[in-house]
Structure 1
Amino acid sequence: MTLHLRVGFMPLVDCALVVLAKDEGFAEAEGLNLELVREVSWSNLRDKLNIRLFDAAHMLGPAAIAATLGVGGVRAPMAVPLALNLDGAAITVTLRRYDELARLAEGDMADTAVSARALAALVARRKASGLPPLTLAAVFGFSSHTYLLCEWLAKAGLSLGTDIRFEVVPPPQTVEALRSGRVDGFCAGAPWNAAAVAAGVGAMVHTSTDLRRDCPDKVLAWQADDLERRPAAVQKLTAAILRASDWACDPANVTRFAAHLSAPDRLALPVEILEPVLRFNLLQGAGRPPRQVERFIRFDRDALRPVPEHAAWILAGMEKAGQIVQTPTMLEQAKAVFRPAAFPGETA
């Protein structure tokens, strides 16, 4: 008997394993009829999972923890039997801001501390001239992207929300937000940094791997009670995604991989933008050649294991961003969102 599952996703490269599970037939082979629904915001995904309009969702790891803790106005306990990727984000700014940073930099802009100090100099110069603060965006308040921005700014003593205005912009809107001048820069997952560079409106400053290797990012989230209430559904979808992981990690499949993601009901972007990202060859803009970044985004099985210890970094990020005051109980609840015992081959 085939089991129907409705899974929500956002148009990002890191939705890949859910898309491949459907489009390469791995879900069908596991006895699943997988219906994928493209969403417009992370809050929509969270809320539809909470009221069971979705069975599972491609979700920001920090958003799953925030919902479980009831931080941010919504309490929706979630469980994560596997991650969907590690890494894969970047910080991109307008061409004008990149040029200003490059002129103010004292050293190599590839160094995150050098670029952060250049940003601090720009912030100070604007303040002295009576200009409004710069605006940086992330795709959601509770996201690794917000916390990576905080880590970058902290290298020069800057604070997000104080020295730099902060805004939330959903991934597909980031390019237009940069083009229109609504924001001076953003941190988001691939391919939206590459899309901004290709559109001639942005320059990549840093990848997430420059700031933190193996950074926790997206997960497959279920309602917390589903791991006990619907174990067969969880196991079947997990198995299909693991098969998709093996397929995605074969270099021979990259061109077909990019074609799947480029479809109108997936990312709706040209293969010419997506395929280089999957080959870790990243557009930088501002007259610079593409940059090859080893393992820019990870889809391998080791990257998919749910790691309770990731909760500590996420909660630390929430605290730095002023979203919580951490307690030991909060840490235990956050760690419990990640369920390594549900990952094949793992034990409780």
Structure 2
Amino acid sequence: MSDSFRIGFLPLVDAALPILAHELGFAAREGVAIELVRDMTWATVRDRLLYGHTDAAHIIAPLAIATALGRDRPPVAMAVPFVLGLNGNAVTFSVALARAVGVGDTLGDPVAVGAGLRRVAAARKAAGEPLRFGVVHRYSSHNYMLRYWLAGVGIHPDADVEIAVTSPPFAADALAAGEVDGICVGEPWNSIAVDRGVGQIALATAQIWRRGVEKVLALRETVVEERRGAVEALVRALHAAAAHFVTPEAAEESADILARPEYLDAPRETVLRAITDHIRLVPGGEPVHYPDFMFQYREAANFPWRSQAAWLYSQMIRWDSNAFSDAEAATASAVFRPDIYRAALAGTGAPLPGASSKLEGGLNEPIGAGSVQGRLTLGSDRFFDGRSFDPDDIQSYLAGLG
């Protein structure tokens, strides 16, 4: 008899791994059955998880941490044993804003695009009509990546522009309706906005933080405690799905599956572009290749680095105007569970980092890293402004941001 997991997800390309683990038999090979539950908002995905309607979820990493910390609701202990993807989002402007900022038909430099946006934002603010950007949740990497970039180019995210929440499947609609001037969202919804002629992609979030953590597999800690062996089997199934997903010969079949109505309900060609790191930046334009736009497997991409959780906590402190707490920082970091990842993949040959945290943003080029199993190389993980983040000194990092 299989161990069964109901897994909540949103219709996004980076929901690929649980979907493919189910559809292509990777879960079954590990003795795991997956039932997928499609939702339209992150709040609903979280609530289903917390109230036991699902066993696990494809979810934005900061929301798992915020849930454990009791932000906006009573705290619930959470566990993230597996990262479902790094990067994969974009900042898309309305066609009018792209024109006003001077965005070209290639991905722009974050600093140069930011300078043009700062000029337009100042004019709009002075006219009493501030620019408005849509992100997918208050506690999302999209919100923090957008804010990090805006602040880094001299635009205060709360004083100079407005930031609102829009569900990913409705982000292109919000742009088309003029409710927002830009969106920061995952694929395929940036591309759908471009293909509809209502948006232009200005930046990939990989340009803001290369290898930034994005979606994760999250479970209530009680489920992990009660079903540890089954959770480890699920991790192995997802890891096998990731290895398959990134092979070039798998792209066509993966796009066929993901585009189906019960999953993304999106144009197959749009999904295929995202999978193969091709982005159409402007309406009617030829897709451009941006290597590692989505990042699902190499360099231990699925490893839950506690330092990435700590960086997300630092942004919560920065933008929620809360006081830093050592106890909260420890709770936030402990949501990510490298111990489960290592236990699940021991003996499989998968590279297993020896450390659980690292200096984030410190690598400009690939470098060999210590591992307890397999050979591990880590690629560039730079922030666009050249800063680095030491998870052991969050307060100094925040003080340096101003």
TM-score for both structures, normalised by structure 1: 0.95
Cα distance in 1 for partners of 2:321, 2:195 equals 34
Assess if the C-alpha contact under 8 Å between 1:92 and 1:205 holds in 2. Answer: yes
The amino acid of 1:164's aligned partner reads V
SS state at 2:252 partner: helix
The aligned residue for residue 159 of structure 1 is 156
User: How far apart are 1:298 and its partner, in Å?
Assistant: 1.0
The amino acid of 1:313's aligned partner reads W
Within 5 Å, give how 1:205-244 maps onto structure 2: 205-244=202-241
- Residues 1:307 and 2:308 are matched in the alignment: no
The aligned residue for residue 112 of structure 1 is 110
The aligned residue for residue 336 of structure 2 is 338
SS state at 1:247 partner: helix
Report the CA distance shift for 1:296/1:253 in structure 2 as closer, same or farther (over 3 A). Answer: same
The amino acid of 1:163's aligned partner reads D
Report the CA distance shift for 1:74/1:99 in structure 2 as closer, same or farther (over 3 A). Answer: farther
SS state at 1:294 partner: coil
**Runs of at least 5 residues in structure 1 that lack an aligned partner in the other structure:** none
The aligned residue for residue 86 of structure 1 is 86
**Runs of at least 5 residues in structure 2 that lack an aligned partner in the other structure:** 347-351, 357-402
* Aligned-residue RMSD, C-alpha: 1.7
User: How far apart are 1:288 and its partner, in Å?
Assistant: 5.0
Cα distance in 2 for partners of 1:204, 1:163 equals 21
Cα distance in 1 for partners of 2:259, 2:323 equals 41
- Residues 1:143 and 2:140 are matched in the alignment: yes
User: How far apart are 1:222 and its partner, in Å?
Assistant: 0.6
The aligned residue for residue 33 of structure 1 is 33
The aligned residue for residue 125 of structure 1 is 123
What whole-Å deviation, never above 9, does each CA across 1:302-329 have from its counterpart, x for those lacking one? 1101110112210122123226332111
What whole-Å deviation, never above 9, does each CA across 1:151-189 have from its counterpart, x for those lacking one? 111123212222111100111010100000011111011
SS state at 1:263 partner: coil
Assess if the C-alpha contact under 8 Å between 2:9 and 2:36 holds in 1. Answer: yes
Report the CA distance shift for 1:8/1:109 in structure 2 as closer, same or farther (over 3 A). Answer: closer
Report the CA distance shift for 1:109/1:16 in structure 2 as closer, same or farther (over 3 A). Answer: closer
SS state at 2:90 partner: strand
The aligned residue for residue 181 of structure 1 is 178
SS state at 2:310 partner: helix
Within 5 Å, give how 1:68-83 maps onto structure 2: 68-83=68-83
State which drifts further: 258-267 or 109-118: 109-118
The amino acid of 2:144's aligned partner reads Y
Assess if the C-alpha contact under 8 Å between 2:122 and 2:160 holds in 1. Answer: no
SS state at 2:183 partner: strand
User: How far apart are 1:73 and its partner, in Å?
Assistant: 2.5
The aligned residue for residue 360 of structure 2 is none
SS state at 1:258 partner: helix
Assess if the C-alpha contact under 8 Å between 2:78 and 2:220 holds in 1. Answer: yes
Assess if the C-alpha contact under 8 Å between 2:107 and 2:204 holds in 1. Answer: no
The amino acid of 1:321's aligned partner reads W
Cα distance in 2 for partners of 1:289, 1:319 equals 41
Cα distance in 1 for partners of 2:272, 2:115 equals 33
- Of the candidates 255, 258, 261, which is equivalent to residue 258 of structure 1? 255
User: How far apart are 1:109 and its partner, in Å?
Assistant: 7.2
The aligned residue for residue 64 of structure 2 is 64
SS state at 1:181 partner: coil
Cα distance in 2 for partners of 1:157, 1:276 equals 33
- Residues 1:273 and 2:273 are matched in the alignment: no
SS state at 1:58 partner: strand
The aligned length equals 344
The aligned residue for residue 187 of structure 2 is 190
SS state at 2:164 partner: strand
Q: Percent identity?
A: 34
